[in-house]
């Protein structure tokens, strides 16, 4: 894991901590890292999103993936989690469940029933419900406070994924590489066209092609010191938008949103990115931070959000607001969302 550690530390500007620091999921900022094992001429290479050599050429062949690797942002150490963690120093017990104290992965209950074989115990993984603490005794999200609590939690998770995550950094880096390759292709095609037609190559045309492709600004990750305040403000705005929609529109009858919370949150965030004016009233306010920080909507498949479902929910919100204004004769100012 030394190669993975060097890649992660160099990309985040960290120095490997040599003291007796003990990583913990309670006190440290631990991130999951996807590692791809590449092979080139009999030599193995562990490639992450921070690898300076990406994208690799055809000589590198992917032979496997490692998804249980975690990186500590405080110490710069890399931890690979497996079942050995619960038999060593990293074992932790919580509610009768044995888990790793660094990653939080649950490997099974402390006491196993006699009818279960040891093999089934080794292969058992407990499902981690992201909305477990937001559910009531009936195990549903039908009540308004429970649904808003789960909505706030999901808004923070989606914002971390779309703005602060390593996946966003990799997507932007890949986009810049493809943009440079496309610019180079356009320049070469222009030169070939001039040579085939025996026309002189105009230098100003080459400069215009390069400048037009270089207008796109490079993405910069927001500073971590403002992360908690940004997440709280955006999550409160999402909850305020949903509260107005639930109170005045027909969306309160749609109980299916409990299963599509990530897509619902993404739709509200992108509506706040551009704002939603209607009848000369700003129904959903425009947040300039989201306009600058969120990626393009056509790249949401990269982050695990279905674009078809995203578009349908966003159109459904617009139609519900339009129906409330036109059919129910509701004053548009009653639908205006106020964001602090």
Q: What is the pLDDT of residues 30-44, one digit of tens each?
A: 888 888 888 888 888
| Residue 288 sits in the same domain as residue 232 | yes
Q: What is the pLDDT of residue 114?
A: 38
- Give every CB contact of residue 204 below 8 A, 6+ residues apart in sequence: none
77-97 per-position pLDDT tens digit? 888 887 777 777 777 776 666
Q: Flag whether pLDDT at 270 surpasses 90.
A: yes
Look up the domain containing 96 and give its range.
84-128
Residue 42, φ and ψ in degrees, nearest 5: 80, 0
| Residue 179 sits in the same domain as residue 254 | no
If you average pLDDT over each of 74-78, 84-88, 252-256, which comes out highest? 74-78
| Residue 267 sits in the same domain as residue 283 | yes
| Residue 233 sits in the same domain as residue 296 | yes
Measured CA to CA, the distance from residue 7 to residue 5 in angstroms comes to 5
Average pLDDT of 285-298?
A: 87
Q: Is pTM beyond 0.85 here?
A: no
Looking at every residue in the chain, the average pLDDT score rounds to 77
Average pLDDT of 161-175?
A: 83
Q: What is the pLDDT of residue 124?
A: 38
| Residue 153 sits in the same domain as residue 302 | yes
Q: What is the pLDDT of residue 218?
A: 67
CB atoms within 10 A of CB 196: 8
Interior angle at CA 164, CA 177 and CA 305, nearest 5: 80
| Residue 281 sits in the same domain as residue 196 | no
Interior angle at CA 149, CA 146 and CA 153, nearest 5: 140
92-116 per-position pLDDT tens digit? 776 666 778 887 777 654 333 333 3
Q: What is the pLDDT of residue 135?
A: 58
Q: Flag whether pLDDT at 181 surpasses 80.
A: yes
């Amino acid at each position: 894991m030394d190669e993975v550690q060097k890649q992660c530390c160099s990309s985040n500007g960290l120095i490997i901590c040599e003291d007796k620091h003990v990583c913990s999921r309670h006190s440290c900022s631990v991130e999951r890292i996807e590692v791809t094992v590449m092979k080139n001429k009999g030599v193995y290479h562990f490639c992450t999103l921070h690898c300076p050599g990406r994208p690799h050429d055809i000589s590198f062949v992917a032979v496997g993936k490692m998804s249980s690797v975690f990186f500590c942002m405080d110490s710069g150490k890399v931890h690979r989690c497996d079942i050995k963690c619960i038999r060593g120093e990293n074992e932790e017990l919580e509610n009768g469940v044995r888990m790793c104290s660094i990653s939080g992965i649950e490997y099974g209950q402390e006491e196993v029933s006699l009818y279960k074989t040891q093999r089934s115990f080794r292969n058992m993984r407990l499902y981690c419900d992201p909305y477990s603490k937001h559910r009531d005794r009936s195990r549903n999200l039908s009540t308004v406070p429970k649904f808003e609590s789960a909505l706030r939690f999901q808004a923070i998770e989606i914002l971390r994924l779309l703005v602060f995550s390593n996946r966003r950094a990799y997507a932007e880096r890949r986009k810049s590489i493809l943009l440079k390759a496309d610019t180079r292709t356009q320049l070469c095609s222009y030169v070939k066209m001039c040579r085939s037609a025996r026309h002189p190559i105009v230098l100003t045309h080459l400069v215009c092609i390069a400048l037009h492709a270089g207008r796109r600004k490079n993405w910069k990750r927001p500073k971590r010191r403002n992360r908690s305040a940004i997440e709280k403000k955006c999550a409160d705005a999402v909850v305020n938008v949903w509260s107005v929609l639930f109170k005045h529109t027909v969306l309160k009858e749609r109980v299916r949103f409990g299963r599509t919370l990530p897509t619902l949150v993404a739709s509200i965030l992108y509506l706040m990115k551009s704002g939603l004016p209607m009848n000369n009233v700003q129904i959903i306010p425009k947040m300039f931070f989201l306009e600058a920080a969120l990626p393009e909507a056509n790249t949401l498949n990269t982050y695990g959000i279905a674009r078809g479902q995203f578009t349908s929910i966003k159109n459904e919100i617009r139609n519900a607001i339009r129906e409330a204004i036109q059919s129910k004769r509701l004053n548009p100012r009653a639908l205006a969302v106020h964001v602090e």
